[in-house]
Amino acid sequence: MKQPPLSGRYELEEIVGTGGMSVVYRAWDLKTDREVAVKVLRLEYLTDDDFVRQFNREAQAASQMSHPNIVNMYDVGQDGDTRYLVMEYVKGITLKDLIRQNGQIKPQRAIQMSLKILAGIDHAHKNHIVHRDIKPQNILVDSEGRVKVADFGIARVVDSAANTGNGNVLGSVHYFSPEQARGAVADEKSDLYSAGVVLYEMVTGRVPFDAETPMAVALKHIQEKPEPPSKYNPEVSPALDEVILKALEKEPSDRYQSAAEMATDLKRAIKMPMGGFLKRPGTSRDVKNNGKKIRKWTTWLLVCMVTAALVVALLGSWQFYERLKTRVRVPAMVLADVEDAQAQLDAQGLIYTIERRYDDDIVSGAVISQDPDAGTLLYPGEEVRLEVSLGREFVTVPDVTMYTRNDAMVELEAAGLVLGAVDLDISDEVPVGAVIRQTPAGGESIPPFSEVDLVVSGETTAVPDLENLTVELARVTLAASGLQLDKVTQRESDVEGGLVIEQSIEKDTRVLWGTTVDIVVSEMDQMVYATEVSITLIIEENGTIVHATLSASDTEREIYRGVLNAGEQTINISLDSMRPGPQTLRVYAGNDLKEERTVVFGDE
pLDDT score for 182: 87
> How large is the average pLDDT for residues 437-456?
91
C-beta separation of 481 from 474 below 8 A: no
Could you tell me if residue 4 is inside a domain?
no
Position 184 scores a pLDDT of 85
CATH, residue 174 = 1.10.510.10
Confidence band for 393, pLDDT divided at 50, 70 and 90 = confident
For 7-34, the pLDDT digits (tens) are 999 999 998 887 767 889 999 999 988 9
401 & 516 share domain: no
| Element counts in the chain: helices (H) and strands (E) | 13, 31
Do 211 and 171 fall within a single domain?
A: yes
Distance CA 203, CA 107 (A): 6
Tens of pLDDT, residues 178-200: 998 888 888 999 999 999 999 99
Number of structural domains found in the chain: 4
C-alpha closest to that of 368 among 352, 386, 381: 386
292 within domain boundaries: no
What is the average pLDDT value for the chain, to the nearest integer?
83
pLDDT of residue 383: 87
Cα torsion at 53, 55, 60, 63 (round to 10°)?
Answer: -170
Structural domain contains residue 355: no
Query: Any catalytic annotation for residue 254?
Result: no
Does a structural domain hold residue 205? Answer: yes
The whole-number pLDDT of residue 520 equals: 94
Does one domain contain both 230 and 121?
yes
Q: What is the pLDDT of residue 479?
A: 84
Q: Output the domain CATH number for residue 533.
A: 3.30.10.20
DSSP, residue by residue, 128-159: TEE-S---GGGEEEETT--EEE---TT-EETT
Lowest mean pLDDT among 53-57, 345-349, 567-571: 53-57
Same domain, 587 and 449: no
Residue 462 has a CB neighbour count (10 Å cut-off) of 13
CA distance 85 to 94: 20
Do 485 and 468 share a structural domain? yes
> Does residue 336 fall inside a structural domain?
no
120 and 73 share a domain? Answer: no
Instruction: Point out which residues pair with 570 in neighbouring strands.
Output: 536
For residues 529 and 582, membership in a common domain is answered with yes
Put simply, whether the predicted model's pTM sits higher than 0.75 gets the answer: no
pLDDT value of residue 526: 62
* DSSP structural state of residue 335: T
Query: What is the reported pLDDT for 37?
Result: 92
- Which of 404, 428, 457 is the last residue in one of the domains? 457
Q: Which residues contact 440 (CB under 8 A, 6 or more apart)?
A: 397, 446, 450, 452
Task: Tell me the backbone φ, ψ of residue 483, rounded to 5 degrees.
Answer: -115, 175
519 and 482 share a domain? yes
For residue 558, being part of any structural domain is answered with yes
pLDDT band (50, 70, 90) for residue 401:
very high
Is residue 357 within 8 A of residue 276, CB to CB? The reply is no
Distances (CA, A) of 172 to 143, 149, 191: 26, 15, 12
Helices 107-126 and 259-271 pack at an angle, to 10 degrees, of: 160
Question: Could you tell me the CATH number of the domain that includes residue 67?
Answer: 3.30.200.20
Does 297 score more than 80 pLDDT?
A: no
Do residues 227 and 239 touch, judged by C-beta distance below 8 A? no
Residue 193 near residue 177 (C-beta atoms within 8 A): yes
CA distances, 218 to each of 181, 209, 221, 485 (Å) = 5, 9, 5, 70
**Which residue among 133, 151, 407, 486 is the active-site one?**
133
- Residue 547 CB: number of other CB atoms within 10 A? 16
Rounded average pLDDT over 233-248: 96
Residues 210 and 236 grouped into a single domain: yes
Based on the fold, state whether residues 521 and 446 are members of the same structural domain.
no
Q: From CA 153, how far away is CA 60, in angstroms rounded?
A: 10
| Residue with more model confidence, 43 or 310 | 43
Q: Count Cα neighbours of 41 within 13 Å in the Cβ-side half-sphere.
A: 28
Domain of 157, in residue numbers: 93-271
Of the two residues 152 and 288, the one the predictor is more confident about is 152
> Are 554 and 433 found together in one domain?
no
Q: Which residues of 468-479 are buried (b: 16+ CB within 10 A; e: fewer)?
A: ebbbeebbebbe
Amino acid at site 257: Q
- Name the domain boundary from 88, 120, 135: 88
Mean pLDDT of the region 320-349: 78
CA distance 569 to 544: 11
**Does a structural domain hold residue 386?**
no
Beta bridge partners of 395: 446
Confirm if 208 and 248 have CB atoms less than 8 A apart.
yes
Can you list the positions of beta strands (E) in 225-382?
328-329, 351-357, 367-371, 377-378
* Residue at a domain's end among 38, 59, 88: 88
CA dihedral (37, 43, 46, 52) in degrees, to 10, reads: -30
- Within 8 A by CB and 6+ apart from 295, the residues are none
Same domain, 228 and 204: yes
pLDDT in tens, 87-145: 889 888 999 999 999 889 999 889 989 999 999 999 989 988 888 889 999 999 987 77
Read off the pLDDT band of 562 (50, 70, 90).
Answer: confident
